[in-house]
Amino acid sequence: MKTLLIEDDPTAVFLTKRLFHHEGIPDELTTFLSPQKGLDFIRAQLAAGLPPEVILLDLNMPILNGWDVLAALEPLQEHLLGRCLVYILTSSLATTDLARAEAHPLVTGFIHKPLKRDELLAIQTQVQESHLN
Amino acid sequence: MNTGAPIATKEMRFRSLFENSPELILYQDRAGVILDANPAFLALVGEPKDRVLHHLYTDFLPPDVHELFDEKLREALTGRTVRFDMYTSQGKSAPRHWDVVKIPLQEHGQVVGVHMVARDISEKTRTQEELVAQNQDLQQFTYIVSHNLRAPLANALGLVDLLGQEAAGTPEFEQARTFLAHNLHQLDLVLRDMNTILTIRDRQDLTAPEQVELPEVVQQVVTSLQDVLDQCGGTVEVALPTGLHLPANRAYIYSIFFNLLSNAIKYRAEHRPLRVVISAEQGPAGELTLAVADNGSGFDQAQAGTNLFKLYQRFHPQQPGRGVGLYLVKTHVESMGGRIEVASRLDVGTRFTIFLPATSA
């Protein structure tokens, strides 16, 4: 399950990396502390026909926040839908963030940090289901 | 039953209302010429009655509102009562918020003139604006609780879980412990920031201002940052008139200049020595304009938008900082009844300008 994590907080990156390690899939995770570099990576992978299957996207980042990243991905929507599931991974408890995420066509799910094992397994199941469709 | 008291005539009753009302009352003919004006209006514009009657009402209004008033008059002349809000000076008065009603007077089915009643709603408007501002602050605090307090806490929860899975003594175990300490420290900092800010807001109306010698406080700030300035080869020119003082809280003035100067140092341009100019200008009415201008790295104003002064907003991810300084500066300035503006150009420099009203300057 090729996964891209866009997250500016080194602790959160470390936690997600260790979770993937303990699940035995450390090589499936690519991380970017810079949202801009994350976006460049997505565009390059799309061009190469290898978009990540899962994007875990933080919301609260300086300069380019998670919503800005989603807005930048909107023009690529038709290439991403069905091939790449975007999950918001945030510490935010704000209900406005949740409502906004649910309304966004590119967002599959909203997860409160830290990402837990059962949530990762649920993502894997959703990816497999999306492949069957 | 006859009480014996004389019954005022209709004319007397209306005259009394007209003469004694704190509301401004005018009667204008179809051309907008004032045919009658009550004492409240004369007192406001600061003119005797003979300089008001038979003049156009617009003569007492600044040009920028003429069109609006003409339009509303025309609307009333069609036989409709018109009501609108506006912010304007009148005659020699200071600008104020007015709730204006224009009531047409009809004779034989023809509108012959228009009565105007204007009520000063400045106080009410100010209270409303304060309420809106306080609501925005509350929303911001909700945001802080949901993001800035929750983020290190969520990390700590994850790390405690992880410590149970990593073998003691491994590099990952040690790393998790280091991260845990860092996040708990972060949590403590956010709580302290919130405490600082809430304390300022709480005391805003209570602090009795003292006479603060501005050049002295600014010099103290420069001295306290002299080491860092020397290290980066930076210079500060303090161009303040000697003896310039203002009634304010000394600690707030210190905090304003400390934060602005620290920012100038932090965001200096790498390839030229930092130069900061701190200047002040006193206006004719005693209002004060303070400026802190640097030749630093600047920032993209379009990108920063209105977020620059917001709490926990960061624009330089590669630089350490929590996004508290400018929020504190703004809070201090506003607690003195002033406002702060910023102008910046990428790789040219940044200029913060603080406007303090005459009452506090």
Number of A–B residue contacts, CB under 8 Å: 66
Both B196 and B268 in a single domain? no
Percent of chain B residues past pLDDT 90, beyond the cut: 54
Both B67 and B140 in a single domain? no
Place of tokens 């179809």: B30
Read off the pLDDT band of B359 (50, 70, 90): low
Q: Is residue B203 scored above 70 in pLDDT?
A: no
Nearest CA of chain B to the CA of A113: how many Å?
A: 6
DSSP-derived secondary structure letter, B308: T
> Looking at residue B190, what is its pLDDT?
81
Residues B333-351 have pLDDT tens digits of 887 888 999 999 989 999 9
In a domain, residue B1? The reply is no
DSSP-derived secondary structure letter, B146: I
* Integer Cα distance of B52 and B59 in angstroms: 9
Both B137 and B178 in a single domain? yes
**Residues in chain A, pLDDT under 70:** 133
Nearest CA of chain A to the CA of B15: how many Å?
A: 57
Helix (H) or strand (E) holding B314: none
pTM of the predicted structure, to 2 decimals: 0.61
Which whole number is the average pLDDT over B291-320? 78
* Integer Cα distance of B10 and B328 in angstroms: 60
> Looking at residue B337, what is its pLDDT?
80
> Looking at residue B309, what is its pLDDT?
79
A9 and B CB contact within 8 Å: yes
B212 and A CB contact within 8 Å: no
Mean pLDDT rounded to a whole number for chain B = 87
Q: Is residue B24 scored above 60 in pLDDT?
A: yes
Both B156 and B223 in a single domain? no
Number of domains in chain B: 3
> Tell me, what's the ipTM?
0.91
Note whether B322 and B259 are within 8 A (CB): no
Percent of chain B residues past pLDDT 70, beyond the cut: 91
Domain A3-132 CATH superfamily? Response regulator (3.40.50.2300)
Q: Residue B69 belongs to a domain with what CATH number?
A: 3.30.450.20
A99 and B CB contact within 8 Å: no
Most confident of A129-133, B229-233, B249-253: B229-233
DSSP states along A56-113: EE-S--SSS-HHHHHHHHGGGHHHHTTT-EEEEEE----HHHHHHHHH-TTEEEEEES
- Name the residue in chain B with its Cα closest to that of A68: B303
> Looking at residue B131, what is its pLDDT?
85
* Domain interval for residue B114: 10-120
Q: Is residue B284 scored above 60 in pLDDT?
A: yes
Read off the pLDDT band of B361 (50, 70, 90): very low
Read off the pLDDT band of B320 (50, 70, 90): low
Lowest-confidence pick of B58-67, B234-243, B351-360: B351-360
Residues B171-186 have pLDDT tens digits of 999 999 999 999 999 8
In a domain, residue B2? The reply is no
Both B199 and B326 in a single domain? no
Q: Residue B217 belongs to a domain with what CATH number?
A: 3.30.565.10
In a domain, residue B110? The reply is yes
Q: Looking at the partner chain, which of B150, B153, B155 has a beta carbon nearest the beta carbon of A15?
A: B155
> Looking at residue B147, what is its pLDDT?
76
Interface of B with A in 43-102 (CB under 8 A): none
Residues B113-167 have pLDDT tens digits of 999 999 999 999 888 888 887 787 777 777 777 777 898 999 999 999 999 999 9
Instruction: Please name the residues in contact with B245: beta carbons below 8 A apart, sequence gap of 6 or more.
Output: B211, B212, B213, B214
Q: What is the length of chain B?
A: 361
| Nearest residue to A59 (alpha-carbon basis) of A51, A43, A70 | A70
> Looking at residue B360, what is its pLDDT?
45
Both B115 and B149 in a single domain? no
> Looking at residue B202, what is its pLDDT?
63
